[in-house]
Chain A
Amino acid sequence: MKVELRHIHKHFGAVHANNDVSLTVEAGTIHGLLGENGAGKSTLVKILSGFITRDSGEVVLDGRTAHIQSPADALRYGIGMLHQDPLDFPPLTAIENFMAGSLAMRAILNPRAAERTFRALCAQFNFDIDPQARVSDLTVGERQQLEIVRLLANGVGTLILDEPTTGISASQKTLLFEALRKLAGEGKSIIFVSHKLEDVEELCDCVTVMRRGQVVGELDLRADGLRQTEGKWPRDQHFSIAARIVEMMFGKELAMPVKPPTHQDEVILSVEGLVLRSDRLEMRIEHLAVQRGEVIGVAGLEGSGQQLFLMACAGLERPAAGTIRLADRDLTHKPYRDFLQAGVCYVPADRLRDGLISGLTIQEHVALRTSNRRLFINRAAATAEAERAIATFNIRGRPDTLVERLSGGNQQRTQLALMPSPLNVLLMEHPTRGLDIESTLWVWQQLIARCKQGTAIVFASSDLDEIVQYSDRVMVFSGGRVSPPIAASELTADSLGQMIGGRF
């Protein structure tokens, strides 16, 4: 089925999540949709699959306008979507999941017939799922396979996969890719949403790149005889394609460094032979020594281990090997409390989930921070201190404003106001995500003022301009590998793009 999305617009409040997005997916192709978090990919595919209604624009299937208002409508048009977190029923068995919502089922269920269909479909794709197993006992990869088989049984002609390679094993990924190629071979169209370059390169026929709600480029990977057999690229070509995609994702020109030198000679944070493991990533950082007053920018596609690294430095993630030292103290495997006492502070990306406490006011946050153990809160003191913080940090709110009522910029200001002082190491994720220019500049002013007092900052960001503007040195994370820190002044858009694509 040929799928065309024409001039799609979608607003969420003030955010223009899809701004005049058009996308054409030919029948029998695998089309990659690439972009950083928040680029608008998910919004676009959710519009196509009926989960979100568009503000304006048109969906055209095989040349005919389609009216999709709900997932039920989308299914009737033969559009099925695999969600990043499988949308299934964990307490039910695999076969019950297969039958639930199936268009082919009669009022009285016939589990035997369903099981025959199920086994036949599984055999086609070499999927091995026990029909009687409870879905909660299956791995994410198996649940994905179950969803694919279920959608196919419902006659889906267009399959959308949202970040399908997150959380599945390498062999499951191979199996998945084989299945998708086979389906494309049968004339079905596949939309593959991802922020992982290597997956898109290996699998897709075409790529569309989105940034900030808009399509910023398309690339036909089959053109000019580029595609070799089985998705393997000659080494040089691989990097030139990666570089072109990265360029589309992040833009061509980099901003100029604006940060004044603030670093002092004394090393404050040092990391040796650090090995970090999560369920889908293993990485190793040989040696890193951060000086007082220095800013280290951590670049890379999202999910390449940046958060893991920052959390390990904050004492929130247990390294598998290696040491973390703060000045002269060895903090490896020490409890989080010791990290706090040593003057380490972690500011997470999700401000309302991990950083602040929704339901509490600014002054209650201030009161929570005090370490005295008296029974009653000194409200007057807390209010006074909150007022002081509001004035110094220019927060648009009152001491009794609930934090979730603050705008993103003001939440970030509140987080900064709550940071302890003095501070040795500040670890931040996306310090200015979702902030307007004024707030961004202000936040960095504050951060640089901290550096002048001797705080070292390590921050991760998906905004390459921010990385180059404010870092002294930059580390690049790519698929479990970590580059040594490089002086920001030596970086070019091209070299950074190549590194993010995996070449260093």
Chain B
Amino acid sequence: MEFNQLLVILATAIAAATPLVFACIGETITERAGVINLSAEGTVMLCAMVGFVVAKATESVWLGFVGATVIGALIALIVAYGTITLKQSQIAIGFVLALLCSDLSAYLGNPYVRIPGPTVPPAFPIPILQDIPLIGPLFFREGDVLVYAGYVLIAATWVYFYRTRGGLTLRAVGEQPAAAFARGHNVVALRYAYTLIGGALMGIAGAAFSLDFKAGWSYRHTAGYGWIALAIVIFGGWNPLRAALGAYLFGILQSLASVAQSAIPDVPTQAFTVAPFVLMILVLVLTSGDWLDRLLSYLPVSARRSLSRALRTAPPAALGRPFEQD
């Protein structure tokens, strides 16, 4: 195989991972505030359906995205109300919504199955950046508006998390809400806000499937991607850069699998489709054990700190726990 051919395959895989990137970043933001939105699977699927239907009805792709965003935020609002205000189990509410929303998408979306609809305008290269060796062909040639918006989202989320006051507060709320409250923050309002933002991003992820990367609508059109997003968030150690990396890696491995499959037909198909998950589990085991700390202790202090921050996979301490003010 030609090298350039491989680059095109990889670039397409990277672009195709965009919906996952949106979903992962959305879930990362929500979980950083201490709320698990386990409804991701249902949210993505229902929003894919809604996005397609709205776009079809209004003949506008962008209104489709608006519709999907609103629905994603609304589902998140149910999660937030149930878990923050009513203090019910995040697992139970999220899981029920995941099932409910995917079935709802099948029921409501039935008239729209397998009909053509509007799609996002075609891919275009970014001037100047496309000429960077390796990086250019991989990231800046095969993408459309959404792909590039994904890059901006990743960078913006990282900057927000680690360089702004709001981001510091967000991380604080997820780690130790009582201490954030003691410092005068409105924990409840912040958790609502970040749950809604995360849900809206998952909504965009859904529409990104049905209006772009897997255009159209069919029964259980995006099945599995919501669960995968939840897994990638953990793999990403609640860090937007690592989560995005996970999403892209997942996309690449899946497309390589299809290439490898045609090359080595003896290996069963399933081996390639589960390969990314096995890899993720391995990475998690490697980055969460004690031995990593021991290994790092041989390094100078400054290097140790940045490395351990980059590799750390501890969840936000208050993840999944309701905030009780005494």
Closest A residue by C-beta to B316: A91
Of residues 427 through 472 on chain A, the ones whose CB sits less than 8 Å from some CB of chain B are none
The answer to whether A101 and B317 touch (CB under 8 A), given A89-B172, A92-B171, A107-B165, is no
**Min CB gap B264→A, angstroms:** 44
Decide: B164 and A107 in contact? CB cutoff 8 A.
yes
Whether a CB of chain B sits under 8 angstroms from the CB of A383 is no
Whether a CB of chain A sits under 8 angstroms from the CB of B284 is no
Decide: B168 and A99 in contact? CB cutoff 8 A.
yes
Decide: A101 and B178 in contact? CB cutoff 8 A.
no
Whether a CB of chain B sits under 8 angstroms from the CB of A273 is no
Interface size on B, residues (CB 8 A): 26
Q: Which of B172, B178, B314, B325 contacts A100 (CB 8 A)?
A: B172
Whether a CB of chain A sits under 8 angstroms from the CB of B294 is no
Chain B CB within 10 A, most for which of A91, A105, A107: A91
* Contact digits for B157-182, partner A, Cβ 8 Å, 1 yes 0 no: 00000011110110110011011111
The answer to whether A51 and B165 touch (CB under 8 A), given A71-B182, A89-B179, A101-B172, is no
Of residues 102 through 157 on chain A, the ones whose CB sits less than 8 Å from some CB of chain B are 105-109, 132, 134
**Min CB gap B319→A, angstroms:** 12
Decide: B165 and A99 in contact? CB cutoff 8 A.
yes
Contacts of B182 in A (CB 8 A): 51, 71, 81, 83, 87, 101
Whether a CB of chain A sits under 8 angstroms from the CB of B185 is yes
* Contact digits for B139-157, partner A, Cβ 8 Å, 1 yes 0 no: 0000000000000000000
Decide: A109 and B168 in contact? CB cutoff 8 A.
yes
A91 to B181, CA, bound (A): 17
Whether a CB of chain A sits under 8 angstroms from the CB of B265 is no
Whether a CB of chain B sits under 8 angstroms from the CB of A96 is yes
Whether a CB of chain B sits under 8 angstroms from the CB of A72 is yes
A83 to B181, CA, bound (A): 13
- Contact-residue size bin, chain A (C-beta under 8 Å from the other chain): 20 to 34
**Min CB gap B307→A, angstroms:** 13
Q: Which of B183, B302, B314, B316 contacts A101 (CB 8 A)?
A: B183
A134 to B312, CA, bound (A): 13
Closest B residue by C-beta to A88: B179
**Min CB gap A50→B, angstroms:** 9
Decide: A108 and B176 in contact? CB cutoff 8 A.
no
A81 to B302, CA, bound (A): 33
Decide: A87 and B176 in contact? CB cutoff 8 A.
yes
Whether a CB of chain A sits under 8 angstroms from the CB of B290 is no
Decide: A91 and B168 in contact? CB cutoff 8 A.
no
Whether a CB of chain A sits under 8 angstroms from the CB of B305 is yes
Decide: A108 and B184 in contact? CB cutoff 8 A.
no
**Min CB gap B284→A, angstroms:** 18
Contacts of A72 in B (CB 8 A): 184-186
Q: Which of B163, B168, B172, B326 contacts A52 (CB 8 A)?
A: B326
**Min CB gap B151→A, angstroms:** 21
Contacts of B164 in A (CB 8 A): 107-109
Whether a CB of chain B sits under 8 angstroms from the CB of A75 is yes
A85 to B168, CA, bound (A): 22
Decide: A101 and B175 in contact? CB cutoff 8 A.
no
Whether a CB of chain B sits under 8 angstroms from the CB of A57 is no
- Name 26 A/B residue pairs within 8 A (Cβ), A-sorted: A51-B326, A70-B181, A70-B184, A71-B184, A87-B176, A88-B176, A89-B171, A89-B172, A89-B176, A89-B180, A90-B175, A90-B176, A92-B168, A92-B172, A92-B175, A100-B180, A101-B169, A101-B182, A101-B183, A101-B185, A108-B164, A108-B165, A109-B164, A109-B165, A132-B302, A132-B305
Residues of A within 8 A of B (CB): 51-52, 70-72, 75-76, 81, 83, 87-92, 96, 99-101, 105-109, 132, 134
CB-CB nearest 7 A-B residue pairs: A101-B183, A72-B184, A87-B179, A89-B175, A100-B172, A87-B182, A105-B165
